[in-house]
Structure 1
Amino acid sequence: MIFLFFICHSLIEEELRRRRRRRSVLFRLNEVINLSVPVLERFFNHEDTRPDFRLSRESLAVLMRLLELDRRWGAELEVLVFLFWLASGTSCRVVSRVFGIPRSTVHCIVHRVTGEVVALRHKVIHLPTNDDFEAVTLGFARLARHRAFRRAAGAVDGCHVRIRPPSGSDGQSYRNGKLFPSIILQAVCDHQGRFIDTYVGWPGSVHDARVLRHSPLYQRGLYPPPGHFILADGGYPCLQHPLPLITPHKSVGAQRFNFHHSKARSIIEHAFGMMKTGFRAIFFHALEISSRCAWKEPRSPPQLQAQTQKEGEKEQKKGGRTNIDHDSISLIKKFKNKVSWELTGNMVSCK
């Protein structure tokens, strides 16, 4: 009986501590988050998040769970600031005005969350497992409409990400054939357009074949398995080792083969198109960051797209909801009519 009493007492104490922590978090959120900001107001009113952040609520919940931010107060605000900056491609000054927080805070949030997202890329972007590999090969055969492409295990291509080139003579090496400065993002996708490998960082003037030769996928030869190949366009060489690569035939009588090859390989172009549509600002405007950090940012869009395709569908099937404590948000909103917010210098004050 004494042992049971101590167990009940400890459980009650733990519940009281949890409530005190929650009360403390509510007051801290009340002091920091300005709910009159239109972007946050739409988010907390359960409106569609895709126009502002390019991700659905289910995908936002998955991203926060992967980042393990559930127990960090203000984690939702950090992720929203990062996604808004990534989706709009604007400067930290503009993001600070949109969210009503200091520019230095936006700068710290963007770089910190970017590092956390990039560190998780192997959890989202990875090569197919043995159980999924057969589905990948069958999928490419269906795309090509010919059983000869049943040994296709992926499609590779590259795209240019606009940047502001560094000053000096090195800046000219970043100008590509379209005469704008960029870095190259090389990606391999499966039959569903899901990225399974990415490699980024080479200047835009470098040829795609050279980028491929220096990529870990080529040098390590870990994928595809023996007897399979990866599809590529005419800008790549046709290879057997260490990376089996099949490109279109250049002979006159190869139209039929090239037709089926193009049908299967076009999935990588479709994947790039979906990514560029979701994050237009990154791919159609120069990144407002230094060239030293530019290699990190292009890793985020393919990772977020792969996460949306892989995890977001599971959340929708399960009827999952976001990990945001909406009861806490409703309590915060009760203060809204009583509190007037004022942005003063680098801190938000409550009158």
Structure 2
Amino acid sequence: MATGSFQLSVADCTDVAQPSVCKYLRIVAKAIADLAPEFISFPAPEQEQGTMNEFFNIARMPGVIGGTDGCRVPIPNPGGQHPELYRRRKGWMSVNLMAACDASLKFTDLVVGWPGRARDSRVFTSSALCDRLGSGVHRGFLLGDSGSARRSYLLTPSLTQLGKGKEAQCIP
């Protein structure tokens, strides 16, 4: 769905007209969006210990309740009053998608639709997940990359400590 030729490719492969693909794509996308809250949910505080155990079993890192990162999804020029907000510094248009996942790589939180120029840290700090973590309801923390804003509940690698033969250090 992220490419401009997706609908034409599906239409060609299924011998269906592109307008029909568009119509049914809209129906399927809406159905997925309607079902998302049922299947994409961050662990409640009473479920945290199980999630922490799963991460600990994988990496021996205590207290982790998820990992988060952002990515840019290419889009055609959206038009409107401020289309340049969607242009990345590399020249292409995109929306920013931020996701959190559990130890099984299952999505537990999604934030979609920010303009591509928005930094991952801004998307995260403006999210409902950041608000919940910041309120102290959750005991654990997330793992993020160096593009994430450092918080007491979001560990990020300290790139200044890296050198040959050294490991990344997480700084709360």
Correspondence 1:158 to 2:70: yes
Bigger radius of gyration, 1 or 2?
1
CA shift, 1:181, in A, is 1.0
Which position in structure 2 is the counterpart of 1:175? 87
Say if 2:157 is the partner of 1:248: yes
Count of residues in correspondence between the two structures: 168
Q: Does 1:111 align with 2:4?
A: no
Q: Normalized per residue, which structure has more helix?
A: 1
The residue number in structure 2 matching 1:101 is 16
Of structures 1 and 2, the one scoring higher in RCO (CA 8 A, sep 6+) is: 1
Q: Report the CA distance between 1:104 and its aligned residue.
A: 3.1
Say whether the 8 Å CA contact 1:184–1:204 is kept in structure 2: yes
> What's 1:122 paired with?
37
Report 1:1-351 matches (<5 A): 86=1, 90-129=5-44, 132-145=47-60, 149-167=61-79, 170-221=82-133, 225-240=137-152, 244-249=153-158, 252=161, 255-256=166-167, 258=169
- 1:218 and 1:177 map into 2 onto residues whose CA distance is 26
Q: Distance in 1 between matches of 2:118 and 2:141?
A: 24
**TM-score, normalization by structure 2:** 0.80
Identity %: 28
Q: Offset at 1:111?
A: 0.6
TM-score scaled to structure 1, two decimals? 0.42
Runs of 4+ displaced beyond 6 Å: none
Q: Report the alpha carbon displacement of residue 183 of structure 1 after superposing the two structures with TM.
A: 0.5
Q: 1:111 is matched by which residue type in structure 2? A: R
Two-structure CA RMSD over aligned residues (Å): 3.0
- Structure with the bigger percentage of strand: 2
SS at match of 2:108: strand
SS of the counterpart of 2:158? coil
Query: Deviation per CA, 1:41-91, whole angstroms, max 9, x where unpaired?
Result: xxxxxxxxxxxxxxxxxxxxxxxxxxxxxxxxxxxxxxxxxxxxx498634
- Unaligned residue ranges in structure 1 (runs of 5+): 1-85, 262-351
Distance 1:225 1:172 in 2: 38
Equivalent residues of 2:3, 2:75 under 8 A apart: no
